[in-house]
Amino acid sequence: MFVQPEIFGFSFMLKKLFIFFVFCSFLTANAQYTPVINSNRPGFSESPYSVGSGVYQFETSVFYRKINATPTFSNPEALGLNLFFRTSFISEKLEINLNTSLQKDKIAFKNIFESSYNKTGLSQFSLGAKYLVYAPKYDDKSKEIRSWKKRHSFDWKRWIPHVGVSVGVNIESFLTDYHKRGSFSPKVGVLLQNEFSDKLNVVTNLHYDYIGTDFPQFSYIITGTYNFNDYWSGFAEMQGIFEEYEKKTNIGAGAAYLFSKNLQFNASLRANLQQDEIGFYSSIGVSYRINRHKDAFIEIDEFGNKIEEEKPVKYDEDRNFFGRMFSKVKKLFSKKREQKVDIDIAPSNSDLLNEKPKRQRQESLVDMIIKEDKKQKKKTAKEKKKGAKKAKKKAEKEAKKKEKERLKLEKEIKKEEEKEAKRKEKERLKLEKEIKKLEEDIKNEEEEEKDGN
């Protein structure tokens, strides 16, 4: 049987990489499991962290892409479904993933005239693995109590990124003709993540794909994600793809909504730039995980010390051959003593003191977080209730004060009105007297004139 040397060499390389990852996984194991789903979608970049052992995560999206046809053969339009499956075992730092897409492509040929046809099938199928190589430790600013400035200053160590590496293989034997670049081709990548704050992080990926084919590809992705609250987050992303004959760029933005701790919805919109043509890419998707993760626990005693299993002591182990032989012969001739136990007798104080400490299991980190969260929620609810009562009392006090001021103002207005009415009445009476007097004077003058005549 003839075996192609490139395929044989590639499979041997994969075996070596797999052995390397398995070896590294037994050196150190930091827990990367999170109580809430941690999805890469709707971005194209990958975080260096794995999903955690015992987690089976599905990240799927429906996408639509459209761009003007370019000279010769091109794929100006596509509608498809992407599935990204992630799981972890052997080590918390190691993740195995599967990435595939089923899509309907419009294949166009453009020269003098333009013609096109549709084809449906797989456009991508790759198996990969990634491993967290380095995770920096940041200073806990909350423990700084001497200086407010230091407690609220930026930790410059956050410029040091978390580092992960990824390897994979593209299996293209059953893809559609347009997307085939070879039967098998490896890919490698470097995954970086900077956590500038609890809400803002930046992920940078560098990938070298389709190695050994006629169309190798180098790409970079930079994604910035910001968490607005516990449920909503937004992202902005830029991706550049460099091939031998063309360069592609896409710039996009989107949002994700955390529906529950195991379910997330997301959507994105992008602008594609390819050979002086501008198109768009839109997607809507969902991420779901099956959580079978179990936290490791350590048995401790009442003093917090680790409990170790005690091995039974054999007193004949330190003796030589003849000593062990004589002890066994002695046991044959020795009479067995009957042991009587009085059940009704209460144990003495010395027996109680000699009792072994009871074992207790350390609570898991998830349970502790849930308890703390419940305590915090109760505390917040009490504070809100107390604040509402204070606000209500203050509002009632303010309303009473305003009512008093209104009544006082009404009294003052009423007094002023009464004073004004009395003043007007006096003026009216005075005016009436003057009119009456004037009438009398006129009457007297008329009478005098009559008498004179």
**Predicted local confidence at residue 144, as pLDDT:** 63
pLDDT for residue 336 is more than 60 = no
**Predicted local confidence at residue 324, as pLDDT:** 62
User: 273-295 b/e with 16+ CB inside 10 Å = b?
Assistant: ebeeeebebbbebbbbbebebee
**Predicted local confidence at residue 57, as pLDDT:** 95
pLDDT for residue 188 is more than 90 = yes
Of 65-69, 84-88, 135-139, give the range with the top mean pLDDT: 84-88
**Predicted local confidence at residue 72, as pLDDT:** 81
pTM: 0.58
Q: Which residue has the tokens 């091939």?
A: 243
pLDDT for residue 123 is more than 50 = yes
pLDDT for residue 88 is more than 80 = yes
3-state SS of the chain? Answer: CCCCHHHHHHHHHHHHHHHHHHHHHCCCCCCCCCCCCCCCCCCCCCCCCCCCCCEEEEEEEEEEEECCCCCEEEEEEEEEEEEEEEECCCCCCEEEEEEEEEEEEEEEEECCCEEEEEEEEEEEEEEEEEEEEECCCCCCHHHCCCCHHHHCCCCHHHHCCEEEEEEEEEECCCCCHHHCCCCEEEEEEEEEEEECCCCEEEEEEEEEECCCCCCCEEEEEEEEEEECCCCEEEEEEEEEEECCCCEEEEEEEEEEEEEECCEEEEEEEEEEEECCEEEEEEEEEEEEEEECCCCCCCEECCCCCECCCCCCCCCCCCCCHHHHHHHHHHHHHCCCCCCCCCCCCCCCHHHHHCCCCCCEECCCHHHHHHHHHHHHHHHHHHHHHHHHHHHHHHHHHHHHHHHHHHHHHHHHHHHHHHHHHHHHHHHHHHHHHHHHHHHHHHHHHHHHHHHHC
- Could you tell me what percent of the chain has a pLDDT over 90? 42
**119 φ, ψ (degrees, to nearest 5):** -145, 135
pLDDT for residue 154 is more than 60 = yes
Average confidence (pLDDT) over 129-157: 77
CB-CB neighbours of 171 under 10 Å: 16
**Which has the higher per-residue pLDDT, 312 or 235?**
235
Least confident of 56-60, 239-243, 254-258, 437-441: 437-441
CA 6 centroid distance within chain: 42
pLDDT for residue 244 is more than 60 = yes
pLDDT for residue 13 is more than 70 = no
Average confidence (pLDDT) over 173-198: 90
**Predicted local confidence at residue 362, as pLDDT:** 52
**Which domains, and CATH codes, for the chain?**
5-291 (2.40.160.40), 298-332+355-368 (no CATH)
**Which has the higher per-residue pLDDT, 137 or 284?**
284
**Predicted local confidence at residue 111, as pLDDT:** 80
pLDDT for residue 290 is more than 80 = yes
- Could you tell me what percent of the chain has a pLDDT over 70? 74
**Predicted local confidence at residue 365, as pLDDT:** 64
- Residues present in the chain in total: 453
**Which has the higher per-residue pLDDT, 366 or 289?**
289
Residues 6+ apart with CB under 8 A from 55: 33, 86, 87, 88, 289, 290, 291, 292, 293
